[in-house]
Amino acid sequence: MSEKVLDVQGLSCPLPVLKANKTLRGMTAGEKLRILATDKASIADFKAFCRETGHSLIAFSEEGDLLSFTIRRKNDTAPED
């Protein structure tokens, strides 16, 4: 399965998370999105975003000023009554 890349370098909170959310909504369950960011606040923001939405933060790396996050889109299953 391929991985989409979203470059949000230079954008500040909350724009990286908002743009990632919009991109993830257009993806299918299980697909991966790699986000390239430079805002240090993105580290906490993406952890909280994944915890609250059910998406999985499967990788994070930091090289100099470049932050890289890989998120797997959650499965959209309807809750049972």
Backbone dihedral region for residue 5 (phi beyond 0: left; psi -120 to 50: alpha; all else: beta) = beta
Tell me the three state secondary structure of residue 20.
Answer: helix
What DSSP state is assigned to residue 8? -
13 is catalytic: yes
Catalytic residue among 13, 15, 18, 36: 13
Catalytic residue list: 13
